[in-house]
Amino acid sequence: MLIEKIYKKHYLWVSMVKKMGAGEFSEDIIQEVYIRLLRWPPKEKNILINGEVYEGYMYLIIRNTYIIFLNKRKLKTVYIEDYFNVDNNENESIDEIINLAHEDNTEELQASEIINDLIDQEADKWHWYEKKLFNIYRDNKTSIRKISKKTNISYMSIFFTLKNCKRRIKENVKEHYQDYKNKDYELLNNMQTYFFYIKDDNTKEPINIIRAETKEEAIKIFCLQKKLEQKEFLQIFDVENS
């Protein structure tokens, strides 16, 4: 039975959704994935390759389920437009990247997920302080003034830190964002998903998942995130394309 083959990699699916930020809800989300697969079973040719479950297909299902879960629980609302208008006033209205109440546009949903992944990948390269402030500002929809009051960090310091964060996102994600705005979803959805493992780890549990157009680009991003030279990477890690 197909679901039994999928369940054999249960630890991998839980690991995937944990890396998306699901935390204590990871098991619940994967159980919801199984329910969705039983209710709307995919064609085996789409999910099995040489008899093995296609991890890239599962990644998309898990990501979609996680986004729906977030919307229902109102844990996180993700905005994109603001990142590409660096010099706008903080209170200027911004467009929500996706209305999660509408689940019928799968192509657009997948494309928006990729944009969010690319922004997260970019943030993973930053100093921990920048990343922390950015995540508070984005994930909790907290104003700069409130962050300043709560942390005792000056308003202007937070303002310029976030402005710099937005500028770096604009510089490194803008091309893909334009594809999204122009509805060139195929260009985004053709990006590859790369799984990074520690060599000789028999569990094959990925320690990172990166979206990129090429394997070389994915390795470069991984090395920037981990502050590694590529020769060090080759000694310690393996990478596979889903």
Same domain, residue pair 60 and 37: yes
Residues 6+ apart with CB under 8 A from 74: none
Same domain, residue pair 185 and 87: yes
User: Residue 70: pLDDT band by 50, 70, 90 thresholds?
Assistant: confident
> Among 174, 189, 204, which residue terminates a domain?
189
The boundaries of the domain holding residue 47 are 1-76
Q: How much is the pTM?
A: 0.54
- For the chain, the domain total comes to 3
> Among 76, 98, 128, which residue terminates a domain?
76
Mean pLDDT of the chain: 77
Q: Quick one: which of 74, 56, 77, 169 has its CA closest to 115?
A: 169
Average of pLDDT values for 64-73? 74
Average of pLDDT values for 1-18? 86
Same domain, residue pair 55 and 27: yes
Residues 6+ apart with CB under 8 A from 46: 54, 57
Same domain, residue pair 102 and 157: yes
Q: How far apart are CA 107 and CA 156, in angstroms?
A: 40
Same domain, residue pair 179 and 87: yes
Helix (H) or strand (E) holding 208: strand 208-212
Indicate whether 89 pLDDT > 50: no
Same domain, residue pair 46 and 95: no
More confident: 45 or 61 = 61
Same domain, residue pair 86 and 183: yes
